[in-house]
Structure formats: C-alpha cells, structure tokens
Structure 1
Amino acid sequence: MQALYPNDASMIDSIGRILIVLSFVIVGLRNLQAFHVEDHVKRLGFFKCPMPRAAFWVGIAIEFVGCALVLANWHAAIGVILLIIFTVVASLLLLRFWEMDDPMKRIGMQNGFCANIAVTGGLLLLLQNVL
C-alpha cells in the first residue's frame, strides 16, 4: 500500500507520523483551556522557570508549528526537531520528579517523564524518514 507522504516507506509509517502529531495536537488543544494554561504557568513558576507565562506560550507556539510542518511535509525535519525540543524542554521544566517529596506526585511525574522519553524515541524514528 502506498504511503501518504513521499518520504514514508509505507502506509504504516504515514499512520505512525499522523498518530504522533495527533497526540501533540490533542494535548496542545487541551492545554489551551484556561485552567490548564494557569496550571502550567503556576507549575513553571514553582520550578523557577524565568517568565513562566511567556515560556508557556512560546512552548505552545513551538508545539503547533512543529505539528503543522510535519503534517504539511514542508520542512518536516525542522518540525520534528521542534517537537523533540518541545518534548525535552517541557519534560525538564514540568516533570521534575526528582524534586517531589510526595511519593504519589513523584511517581506520576516519573511516569510522564518516561512516557516522554518514549515519545522522543518515536520522534527520532520519524526524523529518519523526513530527512
């Protein structure tokens, strides 16, 4: 079966690309809800991120630009790199499990951190297709 994108080896690669981007779009749209914006800004401030509100909006912009580039297959490698940067930086800023005293919060953040390691691995696999 023919792939949807010229650089993808198969339809499975194309579906994987779409599912990876879809996960970023779904979470990104959810994070635009007022409650989530304030929660993220508060957490960024708690973890001593400079200019937490600006950092949040820059992160959202990077996330959606990366998604658009990958889906449009226009400078898709740059889009994947943006998503990798977003994932790594967001993990280091927001999932600082090593600073949590509460065991339940620590485990939850550790799980999220590990999930983002897997997402980064998937993005690296995608990057080899779009180069």
Structure 2
Amino acid sequence: MQGLYPNDASMLDSIGRLLIVAFFVIVGLRNLQKHHIEDHVKRLGFFKCPMPHAAFWIGTIMELVGCAMILVNWHAAIGVILLIVFTVVASLLLLRFWEMDDPMKRTGMQNGFLANIAVTGGLLLLLQNVS
C-alpha cells in the first residue's frame, strides 16, 4: 500500500514523516511559552551567540515553516533542509556539553546532542523520500 504522500513508498514512510514533524511541532510550540523563550535567549547569550533574541526567533520560524512545508508537501525537501539546519545549529549553539564543568549538566547536554544526531539521521532519511 502506498503512503499518504506521492513519494512515500509505504504507510511506514508516511507515519515516519508525520512523527518527525509532530516532534518538531510539539517542541516548537512548547518553546513559545514565555519562560522557555526567556530560558533559550538566556542560554544563547551565555554561549556567546550574537543577537540571541533574533537567533531564537529565526530558529523558531525555520522550525515551524519547515514543518508546514513537509506537512503540505510543498517544496518538502527545502522544509527538511530547514529542519536539518535548525537542528545542527541549535545543537551547536545550545548543547555545548564540552564547555560544562558540572558532570550532570555535561551528561544531560551530551545526551541531547547525541539525540539530535539521531534526529538529523532521520531527517536525512526523510530527505531521500521527499526529493
């Protein structure tokens, strides 16, 4: 049985696509809560990101636009690339475990970094379907 989208070979491909998008939508919407915005901007500043407010909002827009493009299958490959760039840049800006002195923080951030490597792998697999 073919998937929900023209390039999806099966329903498993479609379910995978929808689960990846759901992850980004849920996290993206959660991060729009005031205390999450403040926390992200503070951490971006702590890690010396230039213009932390702008960086936060640019990242959030990239994330949500990428999800929308994938969901409606409109230039979905560009949407996936937006999510890949967002994930890699956010990981490098916010999950700098190698700079942490506290072992608990270092381990937590390293786990998040490694999880984002796996997410990026899933996005690369999705990219081959939407191209």
Equivalence map 1:114-129=2 (5 Å): 114-129=114-129
Alignment: residue pair count: 131
Q: Give CA-to-partner distance per residue, 1:52-98, whole Å, 9 cap, x none.
A: 00100000000000000000000000000000000000000000000
Q: Distance in 2 between matches of 1:116 and 1:122?
A: 10
**Percent of counterpart pairs with the same letter?**
84
Q: Give CA-to-partner distance per residue, 1:19-48, whole Å, 9 cap, x none.
A: 000000000000000000000000000000
Equivalence map 1:90-101=2 (5 Å): 90-101=90-101
Q: Does 1:4 find its partner at 2:4?
A: yes
Deviation at 1:112, TM superposition (A): 0.1
Q: Does 1:54 find its partner at 2:47?
A: no
Q: Distance in 1 between matches of 2:43 and 2:107?
A: 17
One-letter amino acid matched to 1:39: D
Q: Distance in 2 between matches of 1:123 and 1:52?
A: 26
Residue aligning to 1:17: 17
Residue aligning to 2:70: 70
Q: With the length of structure 2 as denominator, give the TM-score of the two structures.
A: 0.99
Q: Distance in 2 between matches of 1:60 and 1:106?
A: 25
Deviation at 1:7, TM superposition (A): 0.4
* Secondary structure in structure 1 of the residue aligned to 2:91: helix
Deviation at 1:2, TM superposition (A): 2.6
Q: With the length of structure 1 as denominator, give the TM-score of the two structures.
A: 0.99
One-letter amino acid matched to 2:20: I
Which consecutive segments of 4 or more residues in structure 1 shift more than 4 A?
Answer: none
Unaligned runs of 5+ in 1: none
Kept in 1, the 8 Å contact 2:7–2:129? The answer is yes
Residue aligning to 2:108: 108
Kept in 1, the 8 Å contact 2:2–2:8? The answer is no
Q: Distance in 2 between matches of 1:125 and 1:5?
A: 15
One-letter amino acid matched to 2:56: F
